[in-house]
Structure 1
Amino acid sequence: MRVEQQALFWLIAAVVLVLLIGLLQEILLPFVLGILFAYGLNPVADALERIGLPRVVSCLAIVALLVIAIVLVIVFVGPVLVEHVTQFANALPTELQRLQDLLQTWAQEKLGTHSPAALQAFNSVLTSLSENWEGVASWVAQSLWTQGRALFNVLSLVLITPLVVFYLLVDWKRMLGEVDRWLPREHAAPLRQMARDINGAVSAFIRGQGTVCLILGCFYALSLWAVGLHYGALIGFATGVLAFVPVLGWAIGTLIGMTLAVLQFWPDTLPVMLVLGVFLAGQALDAGILSPNIVGSKIGLHPVWLIFALFAFSYLFGIVGALVAVPLAAAVGVIVRYGLKAYLASSVYTGEAPAAPGDPPV
């Protein structure tokens, strides 16, 4: 098969796969979560197997511990999180009104009668959002339910996901062997190397960046709670979770946290500076210690590409797209680097005709 025919075949296969994901996205969440959990926990299963436990027993133990951990989180963390979200949603109109009053007071003190029109427009936006907050919240909830009612089916998440994790862990090595057997024999070696690089990039995100997000979430939540910021635990943990998108997640959390700090503590500047110090310390902890030692440089993706991938996959495939956006972006990044390397070594780039068999080297 010629190179053009191979490229056309894989292009058609990719298009068909994307179309299938788009058609089936409402039922894919339990399976996508199962794949992510199985991929992340496969090294644990391998380690237990190396110490003498049968593969099936190892997988059963891992799934049982996973289910117990999820149940404990739902029982102990879930109610606190729901309470914080409910309080924040109920208090948001009042907080917006306070922000509007604070900005008006500041503008009158600093600018006098020359307040800019931008402030008036901003006040109009805040007033509209405050008056229509209940409608906005209802619209968001209805949109999430309408677009993903099958995704959030509790039975499917609780029952199907552990089964998917178990069967994938049990058959992981056999599935990899089957995929390796399907590779074109002529290109098997470079494809295996590319797969190893993709695995390194994706595992750095799922295992490494997941650990970083968990540590940062706990750090931000405990620190903001200690400072005394209202909804500090909620804002802090959300900022840690959003850390899987470098810079953007931290910026969003800092903006929300600083806005709430100003509303709560102003004109007392010390608590506001403490809240800012928490976010700066978290960013320093991430950049200086956690990411270099846990994630390393294996992802190798520019933050702009990560942000674009997150928005694009979320727009196309909803929650399923948001879950797989960064791992797929890491995989695509590796494939693009291999393609660019092949292009730079080809006659298309160099302009030199390939040497015929038997020609002496130049």
Structure 2
Amino acid sequence: MTLKQQIKFWLIALLVFVLFLLLLSNILLPFVLGMAIAYFLDPVADRLEEAGLSRTAATGIIVGLFVVLCALTLTLLVPMIIEQVLGLLDRLPVYYQSLHDFLLPLIGRFVDIPVFQQSEEIRKGFGQYIGEAVKSLGSVSKDIISGGVAVVNMMALFVITPVVAFYLLRDWDHIVERVDGWLPRNHKERIRSLAREIDEVLSGFVRGQSLVCLILATYYGFALMLTGLEFGLIIGIITGLISFIPFIGAIFGFIASVGVALVQFWPDPVMIGIVIAIFVVGQIVEGYILIPSMVGGKIGLHPVWVMFALLAGGTLFGFVGVLIAVPMAAVVGVLSRFAVDQYLQSPIYSGAPPEEPEEPIEK
């Protein structure tokens, strides 16, 4: 197969893959989640196999414990989270009004522009907008909960995902072996090397960052709740769970928690300082302990590239796109580095003419 034919083949394969995602993105969520769970738990299954269990038994134990843990977490936390979310939405206009009254005089001391003379109109307009947004969110939430299609989708998610995870985890090594048998024989070693590098990047980021997010969500949620901060649990959990998006989680959590603390605790500087200290400690622990030990510093995924991949995946394919964004970013990153290395070793970069094959010496 010539180079032109190879490029044509892979472009067609990429086009088919994109069309597949676009056409079937509405039903892919349980399968993508099941695949992610199987990939995440494969090392645990391998260790249980090394301990003497069969692959089927190891898979059943792992998936069963995983489902039980998720069910207990949802049972214990979801009612509390829903209550705090609804309460937070209900209190948003009050928080906005309090922050407006607190910050506007401070800003007005240093800035004198006409917009501050119209602050009352701005306040009323924004307050009305928040009220309408809260009503819209409540209406949408009610429709989602009561919608028959949503109920079916949720049931499918909770029923299909564990089944997909079980079968993929049980057959993971066979699937990898089968795919390896499909590799072009002339390039199999190079493709295997690239696949190992992609797996190293993915395992370093996905598995490591998932544990980091779980630890941070637990820390922020309980630490803020123990301070007595209103809606501290939900703010902390959201902060931890979105920490896989570089900088966004910390910025969101800091602004939300400090804003609520200013409204709730002012003029008590001690409690406000404690809330700020929780995030300072969290960032120090994340940056100097959790990330180096669980993720590593050389995973090859730049924070800007991760943010772009998440936004692009969500825009193109919705929530399924968000789930596959990081794996796709890892694949593109590894292939891009490989392409650059090939370019740097090519005559196109060096300017040297290509070496001509030596003619055989006639005897």
Decide whether aligned partners of structure 1 residues 275 and 39 sit closer, same or farther in structure 2, where only a CA change above 3 A counts: same
Query: For 1:301-322, what per-residue CA distance to the aligned partner results, in whole angstroms no more than 9, with x for missing partners?
Result: 2211111111110111111111
Structure 2 counterparts to residues 54-65 of structure 1, below 5 A: 54-65=54-65
- Letter of the structure 2 residue corresponding to residue 117 of structure 1: V
Letter aligned with residue 275 of structure 2: V
Provide the C-alpha distance between the structure 1 equivalents of 2:16 and 2:143, rounded to a whole number of angstroms: 27
Consecutive unaligned residues in structure 1, runs of 5 or more: none
Whether the 8 Å CA contact 1:229–1:260 is kept in 2: the answer is: yes
| One-letter code aligned to 2:251 | A
Match of 1:103 in 2: 103
C-alpha distance after superposition, 1:45-87 (max 9, x if no partner): 1111111111111111111111111111121111111111111
Farther-moved stretch of structure 1 (323-332 vs 338-347) = 323-332
Determine the structure 1 residue equivalent to 2:46: 46
Instruction: Indicate the RMSD between aligned Cα atoms, in angstroms.
Output: 2.5
With normalisation by structure 1, the TM-score equals 0.91
Secondary structure at the counterpart of residue 25 of structure 2: helix
Cα 1:279–1:170 change in 2 (3 A) is same
Q: Could you tell me whether the CA contact under 8 Å between 1:45 and 1:58 is conserved in 2? A: yes
Pairs within 5 Å for 1:44-123: 44-107=44-107, 110=109, 114=112, 116-117=114-115, 120=119, 123=123
Deviation at 1:299, TM superposition (A): 2.4
The secondary structure found in structure 2 opposite 1:202 is helix
CA deviation after TM superposition for structure 1 residue 358, in Å: 2.2
Partner of 1:34: 34
Structure 2: gaps (5+ residues): none
1:170-220 CA deviation, whole Å, 9 max, x = no partner?
A: 111111111111111111111101000100111112211100111111111
Contact 1:30 1:151 survives alignment (8 Å): no
Structure 1 partner of 2:247: 247
Note the C-alpha offset of 1:138.
4.4
User: Contact 1:49/1:55 (CA < 8 Å) preserved in 2?
Assistant: yes
- The equivalent residue for 1:333 is 333
Percentage of matched positions with identical amino acids: 41
Instruction: Work out the CA distance in 2 between the residues paired with 1:149 and 1:325.
Output: 26
Please give the secondary structure, in 2, of the residue aligned with 1:219: helix
**Aligned equivalent of 1:13:** 13
* Count of residue pairs the alignment pairs up: 358
Shift in Å, 1:278: 0.9
Partner of 1:310: 310
- Residues 254 and 276 of structure 1 are in contact (CA less than 8 Å); yes or no, is this contact kept in structure 2? yes
C-alpha distance 176-216 of structure 1, shift in aligned 2 (>3 A)? same
Mapped partners of 2:185, 2:354: distance in 1: 23
Secondary structure, aligned partner of 2:26: helix
- 1:130 is displaced (CA, Å) by 2.6
| 1:277 corresponds to | 277
Contact 2:89 2:134 in 1 (8 A): no
Q: Deviations over 1:205-242 (max 9, x none)?
A: 22111001111111111211222211111111111111
Residues 125, 356 of structure 1: CA spacing in aligned structure 2 closer, same or farther, 3 A cutoff?
farther
Structure 1 residue 172 and structure 2 residue 172: aligned?
A: yes
Q: Choose 342-351 or 133-142, whichever is displaced more.
A: 133-142
Structure 1 counterpart of 2:196? 196
